[in-house]
Amino acid sequence: MIRKAITTCFLLATLGLTTACAERPYEVRTPPPPARYGAVGYAPGPGYVWCDGYYDWRGGRWFWVNGFWNRPPRARAVWIPAFWEPHGRGYKFHRGKWRY
């Protein structure tokens, strides 16, 4: 009986964590500010790809997330940058991701 209760609690906790971490697009009413541009510098090593920065909506205001160097997880993977698109009366955010 106790073993069943512990297993059930573990499964519910795991389900809650995976649901909380899942990527959900969200919508904001005001448009993001223009993107920032600057010097990128050199890649830290061969095979690295620059992932552009973007504006994120945090705590009711716009927050700039800096770009970074990243290695593709697989050969021939392509980085799709994060972007905001007009959606209804606001803007919908799509996080950057690797396309295989």
Which pLDDT tens digit goes with each residue over 10-58? Answer: 434 433 333 334 445 567 888 899 988 888 889 999 999 999 999 999 9
User: In Å, how far are 43, 44, 72, 82 from 39, measured between CA atoms?
Assistant: 12, 14, 21, 19
pLDDT tens-digit profile of 53-94?
999 999 889 999 999 999 999 999 999 999 999 988 899 999
What's the CA gap between 84 and 33, in Å, rounded? 11
In a domain, 74, yes or no: yes
Domain that holds residue 87: 26-99
Total count of domains within the chain:
1
In a domain, 3, yes or no: no
What's the CA gap between 92 and 55, in Å, rounded? 12
In a domain, 51, yes or no: yes
**Predicted structure pTM score:** 0.67
In a domain, 6, yes or no: no
In a domain, 43, yes or no: yes
In a domain, 57, yes or no: yes
